[in-house]
Every structure is written in C-alpha cells, then in structure tokens.
Amino acid sequence: MKSLKYLSLSLVACGVALSSCDDFFDTKPYDQLSPSTFWQTEDDVYSAATACYDKWNEAKNGSTDILYADCLSDIGFNYSNTSYLKVTGNGAMTQAATVTYYNYETIRRCNTFLENAESVAFADEAEKKDLFAQVRTIRAYRYFHMNFWYGGVPLITDLPQTSAEAQIERASEETVKKFIYDELDAAISDLKDKPSQRGRIAKGTALAIKMRAALYWGDLDLAMSAARSIQNLNQYELDPNFQEMFSIKGQGSKEIIYAMQHVSNTYAFSNMIRMFNNQDGGWASMVPTQNLVDMYEMKSGLRPEEEGSGYDPVHPFANRDPRLALTILYPGMDWVGSDGKQRVINTLDKSIDGGSNADYMDAADNSSRTGMIWAKYTVPLSQYSASLGNENTCPILFRYAEVLLTIAEINVEKNENTTEVYDILDQLRARCGHVAVDRAKYNTQEKLRELVRRERCIEMAGEGLRRADLLRWKDQNGKMLAETLMNGTLYRMIGTVNVNEPDRDLRATISAPTAENESLRKIEDRVFRPYNRYLPFPQAELDKNPNLKQNEGYE
C-alpha cells in the first residue's frame, strides 16, 4: 500500500479518536496532535484513511483471524485456547471466556475520518470520494462482521464525547443490516474499479463484502447481483496454480480480490509461527481435522463410503481428490524442514530410530494434535524468515472462487441454471486435476445442494468461512447443520509411518478404531446448542455498557 509508510504517523497523529486505551470512550488526548492541527492536507487524509485499514478485517487478531476462524468449526482445531478459540469451538464459551469479535476501535477511526476529512480540500475531487468510499466500506465490513456474530449491535456513526454517550442499546439485526447495505451501495458508486495501489479497497472488494453479507443473511437476489457485478468487472479469474496462490510468490494472482497487506520490517505478519508444527519451531495453533479429510472424494469422484470407491481406511490418503494434498500436509508427505533438509512428515510415531519425535501429536503443547497442518500459506517453508514472525504474508480475505461458489449455491437454492452449477464446480475441480462432476449422479436439487456445500468447504478450507456456513445452512428439518456437525467427539488418526515406502500416500498406516484406542484417538468432546448461533458479548463490554443486553443463553 502506498500509505503503509504513513501508518505509524496516522496512528499517532489522529489522536485518541483513532486509538485509545479505552476503546472509543476516551476522547481528549494530551500527548498527540489534535484535530485542529492534523486535518490540513491531502497527506493527512491519506494517512488517516490508512489508519482505518489497521486490523480492519478483525480488530483483535487482525489478519490472523482469517486463518484462525475455522477452528470454530468442524474442520479446524486449536489446542492452546488462543483468544478462547478452543472453548468457543467446542461450545464451552461463556461471557467471561469467548472469542471476541466485538470491537469498535476501527469503527471509531472510520467515524473520526468521516467527520473531519470533509473539510480538507483535494485537487482531485474523485480521489477524495474514493478515499471516503474506502473508509465507509471498512466501517460497513466491521458492522457486518459484528452484526452476523452477535445479531444486532449498537449502531454508532458519530463521535460520542463521553462514555455515557457511547452507552447505547443494541440496534436490531435488521436495522444494522440495512445500514450496511446502504453504506456499501454508496461506497460502490464512488470506488475506483481498480485500486491505485495493492491493498487499497476498490469496487470489487466492496461488492465482495455485499455478496458475502447478503448470502449469509439469505438475501439471495442481492448476493447474486453483487456476484455478477464482480464478474462484470472482468478483472478476476481462477488461478491455475492453486497452491502457489497462497504463497508470497502468488500474491499477484488474478484470483485475489482482496488480501490483508503486510510488509516485512514495516508492517509484518507475525503469526506464521502459529501455522507450523513443533519440529520446525512452530506452535500448530490452527490445524485441520480428520472431519475435513473425510470430505474429500476418491480420484474417481466416488465418495469413500460408496461401493466400488476403493477407499482403504488403513491407507486413507491413497487415491484421493488431488485437492487434499494441496490443502493439508498429512503424515507420509515429503517436506523440507526449517533445517533445509527433506524429511517425511511423521506425526504418528512417538519415537523414531529410538529417539523422541518432535512432531508426534502429543510431543509438546505446540505439536499438532490432529497430526496435520494446513498446506495453504505454509508451502514452501523456505519463503519465510527463521523467526516465522517477520513476514510478507498477505492472508486472502476474498477471492474469485468464492464468487463462483456463491453463484452456484444461489442457483441451487433457486433450482435454476443447473448447467452453470456443474460448469462452476468442474472449473474448480479441474484446475487442481480432479475429475468432473458426475451429472447423472447429482441430478436433483437435494443432491446438488449437498455437493455444492461440500465443494465450498473443500475449496475454502482454512480460509475462515466454515462456521458461518454451518450456522446459515439448514438440514431438511430446518436445523442448522452446526447442530449436527458441531456436536459429538472430535477424533484423530493414530498409527505409524513407513518412511521407506516410495508412495507417499501409502506411508501412513492407520489403526482401526477400537475401544482400547479410544482415549488415544479422542481430541475433545464438542457441544453446539441452538443459542450458540450467536456469540456471547464479552463481560468486559457488558461492564462498559450497562445498556448492552446479553444474547439469550449466556446470562
């Protein structure tokens, strides 16, 4: 981003109205520039707009939330309870211990910008409108994020001067939703078709926010319109190299609509260490589960449980959809470690050649408890620094595959344009070398709905969309899929790895489940209750605002 160089300046110069020790409550700084001395030039406005970008995806964990969020679903797991991910994922969250998506810091920055920047003259009025539209888009996204997870939040669009003024009641979910749509529509009309610098919000990003929000809230016509508008920009296309798109080398991919920007030594991504396993110095804080592995078809396109599929539970990675190996690093795969040496991934054997195995699932708190890590963003390890904490990693917030899957899902729900649905799924499968959809097999709305949902999970796995999908998708009885898929015991594979086997997918030999190995296979019990559709407001926020009423079930 052009304005990354302004980031540190803007965080200071815009005063406590942009950053304070008490969220948006404090308003009078004594050690920073005041509004009367700051809002003078175009550069001031640029730097203030950049301050709004800081952690705009999620104010607490920033860009890392994209990678963390699937730990709240059936396809991801967090062992260390970082930011209360574990207890929220297994249903044990309370208002005192919960993932916190409730944060007004970014909204306060946006409100400050919108209130003060109007008075600054610009040589190019279109440039000024574009900056205002970027900030309005950021504010709309933050409200979308909170509104979806909490179901109505205080709607603050000005600058409260005291904590009492900020202590307002929740607006209804519908009221906040309307505000979001209106803001996005206003911003879309003023945004540039293409960003002036990578990292700036342009029309495609605002449309992607509207598309995702409308899909989540079931406003299918709005979601389809936004998706078609993204297509009509003629800027985005599927990347033929799926895995490279998630690497530093692939950051210029035409599939990426928006990625959260980071620059080493300037505005670094510091959490790659959380993605790697123990032996490579990582913390394995977000890892995929066996549930996800089980979703992948065989190379033939048959499901593992179908007759004639050839699935072998002793060698569950053999003859699978090629996307499995592009998404997950599993036992038996070849890997070049932090020492620069090639090894076979072995997370199943407690010891190797008589010595301890640092990658064994229970070797340390920072070993992957599922025996796997994500391939997305980790391949190759050599692209990162030795610390795994000063990186150029730019987690992808929106990409074109999501647009196509949104179109496919809406077509299925409306029971129309079935050929387009097949064609979209075939594009996504073919780019990774998988077979086309068997159209004779998936020939009803119900069967095609099941397939599209599975394909969305496989395509977007590890990118943070899964829990929201499980909340909004319903079964034939109208129950959230989360009520089925997030209830029960989370298991892992156990077994051994034969490093001398030439076929990587036959190296891991998995033991069959028995009563005797139940405790070794078990990771945790999980519970999902209907009221877990919404997250609890954190206790700290309830203490700050006595007019904020807790969501049902958490009092």
Q: Mapping DSSP to helix (H, G, I), strand (E, B) and coil, where does residue 334 land? A: strand
Is the entire prediction scored with pTM above 0.75?
yes
For tokens 């998995």, what's the residue? 510
Amino acid letter for position 517: N
Q: How far apart are alpha carbons 25 and 158 in whole angstroms?
A: 12
Given a contact cutoff of 8 angstroms between Cβ atoms, the answer to whether 342 and 336 are in contact is: yes
For tokens 């229970």, what's the residue? 362
Kindly give the pairing relationship between strand 287-288 and strand 76-77. Answer: antiparallel
Given a contact cutoff of 8 angstroms between Cβ atoms, the answer to whether 481 and 328 are in contact is: no
Nearest to 184 by CA among 229, 140, 249: 140
CB neighbour list of residue 4: distance below 8 Å, 6 or more residues apart: 50, 199, 261, 263, 266, 267
For tokens 């592009």, what's the residue? 326
Which tokens is 135 given?
A: 């900030």
| Sign of the alpha-carbon torsion through 248, 250, 252, 255 | negative
Q: Which CA distances in Å does 78 have to 277, 303, 377, 389, 434?
A: 13, 28, 17, 19, 30
Nearest to 156 by CA among 144, 146, 166: 166
pLDDT in tens, the chain (555 residues): 433 433 433 343 343 333 333 332 233 333 445 667 899 999 999 999 999 999 999 988 999 999 999 999 999 999 999 999 999 999 999 999 999 999 999 999 999 999 999 999 999 999 999 999 999 999 999 999 999 999 999 999 999 988 899 999 999 999 999 999 999 999 999 999 999 898 999 999 999 999 999 999 999 999 999 999 999 999 999 999 999 999 999 999 999 999 999 999 999 999 999 999 999 999 999 999 999 999 999 999 999 999 999 999 999 999 999 999 999 999 999 999 999 999 999 999 999 998 999 999 999 999 999 999 999 999 999 999 999 999 999 999 999 999 999 999 999 999 999 999 999 999 999 999 999 999 999 999 999 999 999 999 999 999 999 999 999 999 999 999 999 999 999 999 999 999 999 999 999 999 999 999 999 999 999 999 999 999 999 999 999 999 999 999 998
- Give CA 277 to chain center in angstroms: 20
Given a contact cutoff of 8 angstroms between Cβ atoms, the answer to whether 112 and 106 are in contact is: no
Which tokens is 452 given?
A: 């599209």
Given a contact cutoff of 8 angstroms between Cβ atoms, the answer to whether 537 and 550 are in contact is: yes
Q: Mapping DSSP to helix (H, G, I), strand (E, B) and coil, where does residue 215 land? A: helix
- The DSSP result for 64-123, as a single string, is HHHHHGGGGSTTEE-SS-GGGHHHHHTT--BTTB-------HHHHHHHHHHHHGGGS--S
Given a contact cutoff of 8 angstroms between Cβ atoms, the answer to whether 294 and 304 are in contact is: yes
